[in-house]
Structure 1
Amino acid sequence: MTDRLSALSSAGVSVWLDDLSRERLTSGSLAELVRTHHVSGVTTNPSIFARAIRGRGAYQAQLRDLAARGADVGESLRAMTTYDVRWACDVLRGVHDATDGVDGRVSIEVDARLARDTAAQVAEARALWWAVDRPNLLIKIPGTLEALPAITACLAEGISINVTLIFSLARYAQVMDAWLDGMEQAHRAGRDLSTLASVASFFVSRVDTAVDPRLDAIGTPQAAALRGRAAIANARLAYEAYEQMLAGARWQALAAAGARPQRPLWASTSTKDPAYPDTRYVDELVAPDVVSTMPQATLLAVADHGRIAEDSVHGSYEESREVLDALSGLGIDYDEVVTTLEDGGIEAFDATWRSLAEELGRTLAGAVPDEEEAAAAL
């Protein structure tokens, strides 16, 4: 069953799980997926933590402790999420060591409410880096315009970064420039570049989710023929941009100094339209030196019936440009689509985090330490 995941790994794709919870850690589920399903990293986001914490069962004891000492909502959220991520880092530490630091990475995102505040993102990244205190951690910073200086500043300080919520090719180019700037500053500061890791999370399926309804509204045969093609084309052109960066003089100088490349990470790999194969956004984006992060349902689907090629990206660049050109010819504004997706992604994570914070505030206000547990602890 896992031969397909083995083939994916052999093709140069790192298989990461897009999920984390206290229950997954306590049950040994994460460790089992590492052993049996080639999982070599973990990504998280505000929605993932919201689902986990709202389940409450595995978090009850910690919530009671936090309430007993009067912790506020911000401290409580940070305490719960960093605890899980630190534990996950320890689970993945063997993978990290075996791959010389390439994989075995676990991501934690800065507070989603800070997405437009550069200074606050840097401060939050420092706090999370200190709190988790594991070499295989990645701090997730959204790829907004305001975040670009934060990406550079964090890397310059020696903080490994996962840049998330990237939808557009233009923004991806800016993210790579910010990463190069940060790595160059780290090098000038005398840091060991080989210990600094970074991935750029390019979101895939959500592009089709945005473009397909626009095509349906046009309603022509030409429009129908383009359904489900925008997301793959967009991601493949992102990989072309990555290869162009690797051929550049700035990267060559950093590589000579021991740096590792900022790998593209395919995010949003679950299929949103049931008309499409459930492994589509994994099968069609196989290329060397990328990460594919998947929710468990997609991971198991790929293991069961994925169609894994040695390489499904190279040789597709011209066709991909033709797809985007054809969309433009039908009046679909690429810049409007990707800007709407970025804004919507930020707003959704912000709303999720605020809602969870409100619920947690009410829970903390009403939480009372269990008397039997308190007595047993004395």
Structure 2
Amino acid sequence: MSETLKKLSDEGVAIWLDDISRERLRTGNLEHLIRDRQVVGVTSNPTIFAKALGKGTAYDDQLRDLAVRGVDIEEAARAITTYDIRWACDVLHPVYERSDHLDGRVSIEVDPRLARDAEKTVAEARALWWMVDRPNLFIKIPATEEGLPAITRAIGEGISVNVTLIFSLERYGQVIDAYFAGLEQAREAGRDLSQIASVASFFVSRVDTEIDKRLDKLGSPEAEALKGKAGVANARLAYALYEEKFASDRWRALKDAGARPQRPLWASTGVKDPSLPDTLYVDELVAPGTVNTMPEATLEAAADHSEIRGDTVHGTYDEARALMDRLKETGVDYDDVVRVLEEEGVEKFEASWQELLSTIEGQLADKGGAQ
């Protein structure tokens, strides 16, 4: 067992793995990570599934059966991805029970091509909730403007949601409000609020990537001094907003009715800039009641040499605000940055979904059953 990761967990950070594959499930690797790496949850996205389908033979038997049945490409994609998610939910079910249903969660994303259509997003969320049929499931819904009412409706219907692709503080506040509204709808419908859960996936490294690119173009010493700092500052201010929102009278009324808080989840925690410490977004975002979902490389780096210094978020808010002010003064347009990141995030997931469909189409054709 990694003592470093145990220390991180003891600080109140839930460690989730940002990856899934049939091979990982089949070999027992996920059980190993639960046992030896403090992993208590799993997230997935279209990019992860496209990568998993593109290598190895773990999916061959199911693909062969789907080909024989003449299943169309999109149905095959749902059958394959929900199979893995259901299996992971079962592996993590003991964690789910042991943590009083807090952790042991597994996330699957709605078709990202629906990110700008609330009605279709809700319909897809219902379908995935029904297909996986596990209480420790999260349905991932992108935090686009159109996604906000879909989040409220899904929560109101008792579907637990992982809200993804959050980059801006303004949008994060809207996401929390959408969660509150969904819980209020669920309460009015007589649902047990204690059975509804949510996390809000606030992206970190992509913020640094986009802002640092703009700082490089500015080329000044002031701009250079700000590189590699915005992602952590932005996330810390998100945690401050979380504390503010969940201290409100509106939340207290929901809590009294049995509701659980929507935990902040640090996503995109793999460091993209090799000049930065590879555990930066682990070490600098330690706060109680959070989730950090890590690619395996980041997880192993954290296990090996993360420096867990206790809570690294509280007491930093003024410094974080000052840094964001300096970025603005230097010429970085925060609103434009987060707009670009949201649009690119949706586009990247759409491209990965298309890659996944193309991979499945080719493999079904190889087995004689393409439609």
Deviations 1:329-378 (CA, angstroms, capped at 9, x unpaired): 01110000011001001001101111221232232233148xxxxxxxxx
Cα distance in 2, alignment partners of residues 245 and 7 from structure 1: 28
Partner of residue 282, structure 1: 282
What secondary structure is seen at the aligned counterpart in 2 of 1:55?
coil
Partner of residue 329, structure 1: 329
Deviation at 1:311, TM superposition (A): 0.3
Q: Is there any run of 5+ residues in structure 1 with no aligned partner, and where?
A: 370-378
Q: How does 1:258-297 map to 2 (within 5 A)?
A: 258-297=258-297
Deviation at 1:219, TM superposition (A): 1.5
Partner of residue 129, structure 1: 129
Partner of residue 79, structure 1: 79
Cα distance in 2, alignment partners of residues 315 and 167 from structure 1: 22
Cα distance in 1, alignment partners of residues 356 and 90 from structure 2: 26
What secondary structure is seen at the aligned counterpart in 2 of 1:337?
helix
Partner of residue 353, structure 1: 353
Partner of residue 119, structure 2: 119
Partner of residue 34, structure 2: 34
Cα distance in 2, alignment partners of residues 73 and 218 from structure 1: 46
Please tell me the residue identity of whatever aligns with 1:238.
A
Output the TM-score relative to the length of structure 1: 0.96
Partner of residue 376, structure 1: none
Cα distance in 2, alignment partners of residues 258 and 149 from structure 1: 22
Cα distance in 2, alignment partners of residues 211 and 5 from structure 1: 30
Cα distance in 2, alignment partners of residues 283 and 141 from structure 1: 27
What secondary structure is seen at the aligned counterpart in 2 of 1:17?
strand
Deviations 1:163-210 (CA, angstroms, capped at 9, x unpaired): 000000000011011000000110111111111010000000110000
Cα distance in 2, alignment partners of residues 307 and 28 from structure 1: 29
Deviations 1:30-80 (CA, angstroms, capped at 9, x unpaired): 011001110000000000000001115100110010010110011100000
Cα distance in 2, alignment partners of residues 359 and 262 from structure 1: 35
Cα distance in 1, alignment partners of residues 149 and 6 from structure 2: 38
How many residue pairs get aligned? The number is 369
Please tell me the residue identity of whatever aligns with 1:331.
G
Deviation at 1:218, TM superposition (A): 1.3
Deviations 1:300-331 (CA, angstroms, capped at 9, x unpaired): 11111001121000010011011111010011
Partner of residue 246, structure 2: 246
Deviates more, 1:209-218 or 1:174-183: 209-218
Cα distance in 2, alignment partners of residues 173 and 350 from structure 1: 25
Residue 96 of structure 1 pairs with residue 91 of structure 2: no
Partner of residue 255, structure 2: 255
Cα distance in 1, alignment partners of residues 245 and 310 from structure 2: 23
Cα distance in 1, alignment partners of residues 69 and 43 from structure 2: 30
Partner of residue 167, structure 2: 167
What secondary structure is seen at the aligned counterpart in 2 of 1:57?
coil
Partner of residue 203, structure 1: 203
Please tell me the residue identity of whatever aligns with 2:307.
R
Please tell me the residue identity of whatever aligns with 1:9.
S
What secondary structure is seen at the aligned counterpart in 1 of 2:258?
coil
Deviations 1:215-254 (CA, angstroms, capped at 9, x unpaired): 1121211111101110000000000000001110111001
Cα distance in 1, alignment partners of residues 364 and 298 from structure 2: 35
What secondary structure is seen at the aligned counterpart in 2 of 1:312?
coil
Deviations 1:128-161 (CA, angstroms, capped at 9, x unpaired): 0000000000000000000001000000000000
Cα distance in 1, alignment partners of residues 206 and 90 from structure 2: 32
Q: State, as a whole percentage, how many aligned pairs show the same letter.
A: 61
Partner of residue 320, structure 1: 320
Partner of residue 7, structure 1: 7
Could you tell me whether the CA contact under 8 Å between 2:50 and 2:359 is conserved in 1?
no
Deviations 1:3-45 (CA, angstroms, capped at 9, x unpaired): 1111111100000000000000000000110011100000000
Please tell me the residue identity of whatever aligns with 1:338.
V
Please tell me the residue identity of whatever aligns with 2:19.
D
Partner of residue 373, structure 1: none
Partner of residue 51, structure 1: 51
What is the aligned-residue RMSD (CA, Å)? 0.9
Deviates more, 1:203-212 or 1:352-361: 352-361
Cα distance in 2, alignment partners of residues 68 and 76 from structure 1: 12
Cα distance in 2, alignment partners of residues 293 and 363 from structure 1: 30
Cα distance in 1, alignment partners of residues 35 and 143 from structure 2: 32
Partner of residue 231, structure 2: 231
Cα distance in 1, alignment partners of residues 43 and 276 from structure 2: 24
Please tell me the residue identity of whatever aligns with 2:199.
V
Please tell me the residue identity of whatever aligns with 1:41.
G
Q: How does 1:366-377 map to 2 (within 5 A)?
A: 366-368=366-368
Partner of residue 178, structure 2: 178
Runs of 4 or more consecutive aligned structure 1 residues displaced over 6 Å after TM superposition: none
Could you tell me whether the CA contact under 8 Å between 2:49 and 2:356 is conserved in 1?
no
Partner of residue 372, structure 1: none
